[in-house]
Amino acid sequence: MAKQRKKKCLSYTYWSFAFLRFVLTLLPQTGYIHPDEFFQSVEVLAGKTFNYEASLPWEFNVTSPIRSIGVPYFTVGFSYQLLKIADMFCSKLLNTSLLTSYALLVTPRIFICLLSYVVDYTIYKICTQNNEKANGRLVILASSYATLVYCTRTFSNTLEVILFAVLLYYVADSMIFSNILCRQREYLNKRYERTDNPADRAKFHKLRLFLASDSYRHCAQIATVTTLGFFNRPTFLAYAMFPVFFWLYRGIGYKSVSTLQFNTRILALILCAIPTLIFMIIVDSFFYGYITWGEVGMLDVSIDSFVFTPLNFIKYNIDSGNLAKHGLHPRYLHILVNVPLLFGTLGLFAIIGAVDITTKFLQRKFNLLPTVRSIKGLMTMSYIAPTLFLSIFPHQEPRFLLPIVIPLVYLFANKIKEEAQTELVQSEGSKQSTGNTATNTKSTSSSLFRLWIVINILLTAFYGFVHQGGLLKATSHLSKEMHRLPTYHYHVVTSHVYSIPHVLFKLPDPNTLRIRGSTKYKPGKRVFTYEEGSYPLVRLVERMRSLLDTAADNKVRHRMFLLLTGSKHDELMKEVLNDDLNIRHLYSFYPHVSTEAMPDVSELIRLVSVADVKSLSVSAILDCLKKFITSFDLKLYEVQL
C-alpha cells in the first residue's frame, strides 16, 4: 500500500484576501494617501517615458538630488515601458490608445502589487524552513490594510518592504542552514576525535569533507539587496542593520567556527556590494545629467561626473531645520501612535512584546530572551531596532514603519489567528483540563480575528477609497476638458486637498521640441496649478481674483477651475457673496474626505441635544444630517469675473 502524503495547503481565506489585493488594485483605489506615492516615482517616470508635462518635486533637484532613480526606474519605470510598447502595438493594429488616466494610474500599481506577493512567499518559506505553520501568518498579512492599500501603491516605502522581505529570507535561510550544519560538524568532529579505529576516523573525515560550506552563503544576494535598499531609501540601513549582524554572527561560538570568519564575512559583503553600488551611482549620474555618453566617448570623466544621492539624502535629513519644513513630531509618535495606527491589534501586541523583552533585559533574565541564533531573535530585533532608530528623527509618518509588518506578522499573527496544534495522547483528566484551556484560547483568538477583519476592512475602505478620494476622479475629468478644448489655457486652483499629479492630465511636455512638416516648435505650457493648502478662504478668493485679472490681460482664451472639499462650500459662498466673482458649481466627486477640513457637526449636535424633546424638529435634523453626509465630497467650480 502506497504511503499517503499529506500536502500542506494554504487556506481559502488566505487565497481570497490575496486575490482581493489584486482586484482592489484593478478597480482602482481612488484614495490618495500621500503626495509621495505620485511625486517620488509616477510623476517623474511617466513624464520621462511619455514626454508628458510633469511637476518634478524638490527631491529631484539636479543641483543636489536626494532621491535615487535606480529602484523606481526598474519597477515603476519598467511598467511604463511595457505600457508604452503595448500602446504602440494597439495604436498601429487597433487604432486605439491605451494611454488613459486609468492606465497611467493602475499600470505601476499592478506591477507593485505583483511584487508584493514576494513578501507572502518569503514569510511562507521562512516558516516552513523553520518548521512553523505559515497559514495563520499569511492570512493576517493578506488581510491587513497595510498590505491591501500601502503594498499596492508606488511608495518608496512599499519597495522597501519588498526588499526587506527578501533580505530577511536570505538571512533566515542562512541561519537555519548554518545551525544545522554546525551541529552536524560538531557531531562529526566529536566522533572523529573519540574513535581510535583508523577506518572509522577515515569515514568521519570524509563525511566532514562532504559538508557544504556555509560561511558566505547568500553573501552576494544580501549585499545586493542591502545596497538597493540603501539607494531606494537610506533609512533601509536601520532595517538591514540587525539582519546583517545576525548573518555575520552565524555559528560564532561553535568550536568549528572561528571569530576570524566574522571579519572575513564583513569584507566579503563589502566586495559583493561594490558592483551594485557602482551601477546605481552610474544610473543616477546619467539620469541627472552629471555624465553623458558624449563625455564617456571623449573620456572626459572625473569624480565630479558622478552623484551620490544617498549622501545628499543624509545631509538633508540630519538638519532639523529641513525636517521642520515637512512637519515636526514628538519622538514618541512612532511607538505610541504610528505602530497601532498602521498595524492595529498586531501593533498593540508588538508594543506589549517590546515592553516584555525590555523588562526581562533590565531584570537580567537573559535566559528568557530570544537568542542570536534563533529566527525569533532575528525578527524581534528587526522590528524593535528600526522603530527606535527612526524615532530619533522628529519627522515621523506611519508609512516609514511599513517594513516591520514582516517581523510583526511572524511574531504575533498567531495571537490573532491561532492555528490548530498537534494533539497529544493524555490522561482523561488532563485532556479535559487542557480542552477547556484550548477552548478559551480558541474563543479569544476567534474574537480577535473578527475584530482584526472588521478594523482592516474599515481602514481599507477609508484609505483605499475615501481619503482624498475625489481628487483623482476630478483630475481625470479635467483631463478630458483640457483635451476637448486644446487651444485654451487652464488655471486650476486647489484648496484643502493634496497636490494634483500633473502627468494624469496627459499633456505634452512644453519644453519638448516638436516637428510639424518643416516647422519646429515647442507646445508651450497650457495648464497652471495653484495650491492654496489650508489657508483661509478669504485669501483664496483674493488669489483667484488676481489670477483672473492677470489672465485677462494676456488676451489668451482661458478657463479657471477651483477644487475645494465639500465641507467648505458654505464658507466659500459667504466669501464670494459680496464679491463680483462668478463661481459656478459644476460637479461633485464622491466619496472624499479631507482630514484637514472635516464637516462641521456643531449644528447637528445642537439640534439633537435640545433639552425639550417636544421641540425636536425631525425634518430639521434630517436636513442637517443630509447636509452633513453630502459634504463628504470634492466640488469642482468654474470661476469667472
HEC assignment per residue over 371-411: CCCCHHHHHHHHHHHHHHHHCCCCCCCHHHHHHHHHHHHHH
**Inter-CA distances, 285 with 9, 313, 518, 630, 636, Å:** 47, 15, 35, 50, 42
Q: What are phi and psi of 218, to 5 degrees?
A: 60, 25
Residue 518: all three cell numbers together: 518643416
Torsion of CA 445, 447, 450, 456, to 10 degrees: -80
Closest among 410, 415, 414, 355 to 388, alpha carbons compared: 355
pLDDT value at residue 2: 43
Residue 526, amino acid: R
Residue range 6-48, pLDDT digits in tens: 446 788 999 999 999 999 999 999 999 999 999 999 999 999 9
Q: Mean pLDDT score of the chain, rounded to an integer?
A: 87
Chain mean position to CA 14: 21
Residue 135: all three cell numbers together: 497559514
pLDDT at 59 over 60: yes
Residues in the chain: 641
Task: Look at 301 and 17; give whichever has higher pLDDT.
Answer: 17
Residue range 531-564, pLDDT digits in tens: 998 888 989 998 998 888 888 777 788 999 999 9
Closest among 66, 70, 48 to 58, alpha carbons compared: 66
Residue range 85-135, pLDDT digits in tens: 999 999 998 889 999 999 999 999 999 999 999 999 999 999 999 999 999
Q: What is the DSSP string of 189-227?
A: HHHHHH---HHHHHHHHHHHHHSPP-TTTTHHHHHHHHH
pLDDT value at residue 419: 74
Closest among 23, 383, 380 to 239, alpha carbons compared: 383
Closest among 127, 254, 268, 247 to 181, alpha carbons compared: 254
Closest among 131, 218, 213 to 174, alpha carbons compared: 218
d(CA 182, CA 184): 5
Which residue is associated with the grid cell 511584487? 115
Picking from 1-15, 16-30, 265-279, 425-439, which range would have the lowest pLDDT averaged per residue? 425-439
Residue range 459-513, pLDDT digits in tens: 999 999 999 999 999 999 999 999 988 889 999 999 999 999 999 999 988 887 7
pLDDT at 289 over 50: yes
| Mean pLDDT value across residues 166-174 | 96
Confidence of residue 328 (pLDDT cuts 50, 70, 90): confident
SS3 235: coil
- Is the preceding peptide bond at 510 cis, omega within 30 degrees of 0? no
pLDDT value at residue 298: 84
pLDDT at 420 over 70: no
pLDDT value at residue 139: 95
Residue 372: all three cell numbers together: 542570536
Q: Indicate the domain borders of the chain.
A: 471-640
pLDDT value at residue 4: 43
Report the percent of the chain where pLDDT is more than 90: 59
| Mean pLDDT value across residues 264-277 | 95
| Mean pLDDT value across residues 617-626 | 76
Confidence of residue 301 (pLDDT cuts 50, 70, 90): confident
pLDDT value at residue 622: 78
Residue 219: all three cell numbers together: 553573501
Residue range 569-615, pLDDT digits in tens: 988 988 887 777 889 999 999 999 998 888 877 666 666 665 455 56
- Backbone conformation region of residue 468, classed left if phi is above 0, alpha if psi is from -120 to 50, else beta: left
Confidence of residue 180 (pLDDT cuts 50, 70, 90): confident
Residue range 196-229, pLDDT digits in tens: 778 777 776 677 766 767 788 899 999 999 999 9
Residue 584, amino acid: R
| Mean pLDDT value across residues 363-371 | 89
Instruction: Report the chain's C-alpha Rg in angstroms.
Output: 30
